[in-house]
Amino acid sequence: MKFGLAKSCAELVAVICLVGCGKDEGQFVCVRADSTVTKQSAHPLAVDNAAVGKYAANSKSGAGYFYDDVLEYRVWFHPERGAAPLNRDHDYYVAFAQYEKAEELSKSSIGAEEPLVLVRQYEWINEPEPGHYVVEKGNRISEWKVKWLDGSKRSPDSIGEFLKHPKPADESNKQSDEEE
């Protein structure tokens, strides 16, 4: 009986590691998703709780100055820093609909990063070189530092006002446009 239960648990862990929460896009996977919300949050909640954990693991990193939707908060784990090797020796993440739950896991886990936020941008600002701003449109998904959310929700006037009075991101709030 104990052997059967242990074998079932091991098989479940193997499936989670291989499949993840969403589609496997290379070596990174989501190993768990928490779509619940338990209280008010200091940061926006995910726009669609049912989709938390189902977005592609790979995304752009940073950039844009403005966001349209918060998709999920992610806590990335690194086995080389002591995290459990749930994705062999590759990094993995846990997805959340609410920031505070991500922060709690991040602070209580070995090998975990601070939470990042996955955002959707329908219109954003590209800065191909310092001080040169280009308005872009499309459907872009990007991982941001959580602190970049404050004051960055796009409104109908946000980009036009920014272009009239551009404020480059300082080094502590640098939003670069990189591929992960």
Whole-model pTM? 0.80
Cβ partners under 8 Å of residue 158, min gap 6: 66
Q: Distances from the Cα of 49 to the Cαs of 1, 7, 34, 41, 177, in angstroms? A: 37, 32, 9, 14, 27
The pLDDT, as a whole number, for residue 100 is 97
Nearest to 67 by CA among 166, 148, 128: 148
pLDDT tens over the chain, length 180 residues: 444 433 333 333 333 333 445 444 468 999 999 999 998 899 999 999 999 999 999 988 878 899 999 999 999 999 999 999 999 889 999 999 999 999 999 999 999 999 999 999 999 999 999 889 999 999 999 999 999 999 999 999 999 999 999 876 654 444 554 443
Nearest to 87 by CA among 73, 96, 77, 95: 77
Rg from Cα positions in the chain: 18
The pLDDT, as a whole number, for residue 20 is 44
Please state the φ and ψ torsions of residue 147, each to the nearest 5 degrees.
-65, -20
Q: Distances from the Cα of 151 to the Cαs of 30, 43, 94, 111, in angstroms? A: 29, 11, 26, 30
